[in-house]
A and B are shown apart, each in its own frame.
Chain A
Amino acid sequence: MRLLLLSLSGLLLTGLLIYLFVNFGTGDKKADEISVASIMSGEVSGFKKADSIRQFIFPKDHFAHNEYRTEWWYFTGNLFTQEGRRFGYQFTIFRNGILPGSESDSVVISQNSLYSIHIGISDIQNQKFYSYERYARALDGLAGSDETAKRIYIEGNEILFDFSNGAELPGFQVNSSTDDFKISFNLVPEKKMVLHGDKGLSKKSNKPGNASYYYSFTKLNTGGELTLQGKKFKLNGSSWMDREWSTSALESDQKGWDWFALQMEDGTELMYFRLRDSTGSTNFQKGTLIQMDGSYDVFTGNDFKITPLKNAEIDGIKYPVEWEIKIIPLNFVFGVSVAMKNQVHPFRLRYYEGAINAFRKSGNEISKGVGYVELTGYGD
């Protein structure tokens, strides 16, 4: 019987070897997914650069600039129900140029732009974060920037401009309709437009040309409705709107950024951002402090000192969740912490976009506030 077994096992072994031989080299290979980031890091030739101070023209500049590669309409805010239940929200429409367009491309006839929308809702009470993302090539009725209709839109989401108080002080209507939630907010500016950096030319590094056009409405009185999983909430609070376009990219020694928008109870606001290098140290930083009356001052370089105080791990990636930000010339110290831990968009380009709490100490005086933080480039 041993002979039988011997013959059989020999046969099986040989069969296996043949099988392995024939199938050698055809092992599993997982197809890479398309990465938007990789596309956007590609060709920039043909696009205009934000390399000089610009004479803004409104309302035109509120709409798409197809000759630049990247731009966004960025709303963030902290809203409350009458009972004081708090919701943070982010509503952003991005435009990414695929092929350079021209300034006259006001009507959508070309699919040379990729629009996308990111919405984040932070339900602070339930510690629940809702994340929504959609893409669409620019196409009439589907996605685009329409100056005539005063509308930036993608699928069922839109930003409507209201120029009844003049194009430089627009009101906004932000609408969204998704499976998880519905948004309908009305935003009225309390302060005039803030031009960051040098008259709206905001440098992102010390290299010339690596800059963006950047302006904000730092205090927008917001009211409206949020329907979350079938439940309707009437909300009031304040929002912040950032408007930025450029053809810049991160420098090779820049790994990501931390961006803060603080709205203090004393009527001041702070915009502060820093770009980090691969060690996590500050590579470039800048900020704007807005006074109660709407006047503002720009601070740069060594005027700021930021110290992360505490980290938290979310999906295996460490994010700072508490900071101290000093404006040295004014001897202002801001303490900032996130309003809830997980406010990470689990997109292919993963980032933290969340509601924050803040306080400011100047001498014995303490002022509280709320705001938003954006953290990118962590865990890459």
Chain B
Amino acid sequence: MVKALFQKLFPRNNSGRKQVLGSKQKSDRPIPASIEQAANEVQSVMGNSADLMVHRFQAFAGKSECAVVYLKSFTDIEELNKSVLAPLQRFTSLPKDMESLGKILPQAGTRVIASIQALSKAIAWGDTVLLVSGFKSGLEIPLKKYQQRPVEEPDNEKIVRGPRDGFVESIWSNAGLLRQRIKNPDFRLEVLTLGTRTSVEVGIVYVEGIANRQIVSEVRQRLERIEVDRLLSSGYVGEFTTDSPWSPFPTSQFTERPDHVTAALLDGRIGILIDGTPIVTIVPVVFWDFLKSPDDYIESPYFATLVRLIRLLAHLVTLLLPGAYVAVTTFHLEMLPQTLAMIIAGARTRTPFPVAIEMLTMELTVEILREAGLRMPGSFGQTMSIVGALVIGEASVTAGLIEPIIVVIVAFTTLASFIVPGYNAAIAIRLLRFPLVLLSAAMGIFGLALGAMFYLYHLVSLRSFGVPYFAPVAPLFLKDMGDTFIRLPWYLQSRRPTYYRAEDEIREGRDNRPGPEKES
């Protein structure tokens, strides 16, 4: 009923959508035989763009007039001279049509195009088009030259002992980095072109025979369904493909590390590469994936287990500690040991505001400091945020505005929120602690539990591409517990996680138990 009302009030305009998005429909003419005319038409389509070049020359021993059309900003001119112009000068006889010319030209990936629209699109994509007078078609020659930075270790995802390469902005280089690791014909890369105005290549990578087919086709469908003018980063794709757009929790994982993506692919997950961003999206994802780091599989199982438990604790601390402190000090002081309670009481005798207000103020201050540190130019950032934290913390305590224990709690919470490897999960948690502080201030520990239960129900109701978000804890898969909170040694993890529903579950041989050869 409410829904019907809502729809009446805000009708969805489904019919008008395509026209708004698609570029203006132009009449699609064939390429004229005259080079002059063809060049003029391209120039008019591209609006006389300054970097549009039309180079005319005589080829085939002066028998024929030719032209190459290309964008100066986007084309490898050296390569153009070497592998297009030079051979054309050497050819003596004119081939009978464009197709046979493409066959004799020493350049891979050429394609014959016939319409003006295809011609201008090819140029916009960075290809060079060869026109020969008299032929009513053009030859598209891929001579794109990207501005590309070298492969280097990502700053935001450093690990201690592990590979030092990271993704770059080109989808093809990124695919290469993955191919380098998975030398297997089953590795699949499907590329879609999305973004009606930006034409971004989006690649789906997975390993055939491991990744679940249904999930792969679900990913493909969701990507194909996207209709938007731009796709500038992985966040756009994440938001357009998520199962529940209003959830604060991320249902896809972002990484810059090829080894991370490789491991995910081999577990039956799917990577989404986007041209123009070094960040690769991994789907499907479960909540606990954000607590894992590639480090865990490099260091010893004991240490990895300890660190994972600490990360889980840090998650809980970030979420619950500010609220718990407010609840305990305003309503349930008796839960604390006597000495601690008396210290808190002693500290509070000097401060003018209720605990909840102090807590919220300080948490907001920390968020301001964090954002400021992020935006401040260069080396300023760190210094300023440290100074800010010290000055504000110290001064407000000395002035008696804030009790010192709040500063301790806030600092600890902030620190804890940065422990978790999944940055997007951590910010969700950071965000969600504020309502909990408010609820705790209103209803004590009952309010805290109430809010936490809301979050829990929301979390267990989430799915990421059909995979329950809280698996393997809820629903419970005991078999997969070996790599969730703890990390068992590799030789015991002979099966892939069941919740990703891999086609092939086995990933190890049976007799993997390491040790010296046994005498029999």
B is bound to A: no
